[in-house]
Structure 1
Amino acid sequence: MVTDTSALIINVTLWVLISFSVLTWTVILLKGGQYWRHAVGNRLFEEKFWSAASLDEARLRMDEAGGCPLYRLASAGFQVFDSGNGNGAASLKHRGDLVATLERKLKRQLERESRLSDIGLTVLASIGSTAPFVGLFGTVWGIMHALQDISRSGKASLEVVAGPIGEALIATAIGIAVAVPAVLAYNFLMRRSRRKQQALEIFAEDFLHLVAAETAHR
């Protein structure tokens, strides 16, 4: 039999792995739901925004898709656009300053959206890389103490060895079972995050060109 101390260590290891598993699936469900809502919201936003005849109409229509990343990006851009238009007649210098300020504002918003999108992904990466080693620690600890007990008892039959070592090996199996979903989910969600960020960058560039064209005609 594995000693009480060894059993305690293995049990703690298993509970840590179970906690990792719960945390992994919590992040998967939350991030999966978040990305799905963002994808639906972004599609609706683009439908409303690009079907408008002017920037003023687009501003009104995009409120129907409020809360999505594209909406937040456009709102940040319109804040700069509105503040620039409030200065009255625009000189060439003012128009250049407006476009430069808008570009900086959109860039900062893109960085903010990227950070929001990646929240939780580092947790999946960490669990995917550490869970097998946590399980391996439990296995090594259990086998070490099992062999010590066997040595003290003087019995080395298969029946005596198989039980405690088999119990210790469970920790490694659970560690791998916890790590696999975390790694797969991380890779999948990271790809979704990067695609979403690319869509935001494309919209930011198009929005910047629209504002530059709009100010050039005023």
Structure 2
Amino acid sequence: MNESVSIFSLIVHASFVVQLVMLMLLAASVMSWVVIVQRTRLLSASREQLHDFEERFWSGVDLNDLYRECQQKAVPSAVENVFMAGLKEFGKMRQQNTNDPDAVMAGVQRAMRIAITRESELLDTHLPFLATVGSTSPYIGLFGTVWGIMHSFQGLASVKQATIATVAPGISEALVATAMGLLAAIPAVIFYNRFASRVDQTITGMHTFADEFSSLLYRQAHKIQQAVKAEEKKAAEKK
């Protein structure tokens, strides 16, 4: 209790610049924790949705039925948006009577790459803020410390005899800024690295699904091409 009161007293009696630095660091810390909680929920949900959708996809369900299920959701997951983009482009290419499987798959893969890029941007939202807080907070706190020490030594000019009791309060006030800078930076760095790893894993999972889905659609396009050629051959033989 005495330690908390003494720290609070040091903050209250610090110079204006040091107090401003502490206020900035406190605001950065609070905003960091808001981002950390929000990103934790989002990335955890995205990972679960990816696994759930893959299980549903490989369960043998009809792709058109799965597409309609995804469309009916208010907010489709990231991998569902990738799936819908690929299947939608596949349908458009078929409506244009494009029988070349390579041309069809080029369009499908392009559509899914665009969808993955959009989803990765959403997953990366606010991560640069954590990186900024983690890299700059120690320096901001150090600035407050240097300023506070300078202000403390300037106050010694009016004192005839400098003692530890005279210098210690000012230096203690200044060091609080460094401590606050570290308290803001350490969680930001830890969770930034953790979130960046999770984002990479999720994006890798979407790319893997896109490759597997492309192979499936390529086989389907090849079968359609063979069926069209067979019909054309029969029509030519009848003539």
**Whole-Å separation in 2 of the counterparts to 1:61 and 1:111:** 23
Q: Is the 8 A contact 1:139 1:168 kept in 2?
A: yes
1:29-44 matched pairs, under 5 angstroms: 29-44=37-52
Correspondence for 1:192: 198
Structure 1 residue 21: Cα displacement: 0.2
Choose the corresponding residue for 2:220, options 206, 214, 217: 214
Q: How does 1:154-193 map to 2 (within 5 A)?
A: 154-193=160-199
2: CA distance, partners of 1:164 / 1:107: 57
Gaps of 5+ in 1: none
Q: Deviations over 1:141-200 (max 9, x none)?
A: 000010011122223111111111111111001101110000000010011000001000
- 1:96 paired with 2:105, answer no
TM-score for both structures, normalised by structure 1: 0.90
Number of equivalent positions: 213
Match status 1:127 vs 2:136: no
Per the alignment, residue 28 of structure 2 pairs with: 20
Following the alignment from structure 2 to structure 1, what is the Cα–Cα distance between the partners of residues 61 and 18?
A: 66
Retained in 2: the 8 A contact 1:45–1:62?
A: no
- Runs of 4+ in structure 1 off by over 4 angstroms are 60-66
SS at match of 1:179: helix
Q: Deviations over 1:78-127 (max 9, x none)?
A: 11011122234x433xx322111111111111211211111111100000
| Length-normalised TM-score, structure 2 | 0.83
SS of the counterpart of 2:15? helix
Structure 2 gap segments, 5+ residues each: 1-9, 225-239
Share of identical aligned residues, percent?
30
Identify the residue that residue 143 of structure 1 maps to in structure 2.
149
Secondary structure of 1:72's partner?
helix
Alpha-carbon distance in 2 for matches of 1:64, 1:213: 28
Report if the CA contact (8 A) 2:70-2:76 is conserved.
no
> Residue type matched to 2:50 in 1?
N
AA aligned opposite 1:71? E
Q: 1:42 to 1:63 in 2, by over 3 A?
A: farther
Larger-gyration structure (1/2): 2
Corresponding residue for residue 16 of structure 2: 8
- Larger mean CA deviation between 61-70 and 181-190 belongs to 61-70
Report the CA distance between 1:62 and its aligned residue: 4.9
Over the aligned positions, Cα root-mean-square deviation in angstroms equals 2.1
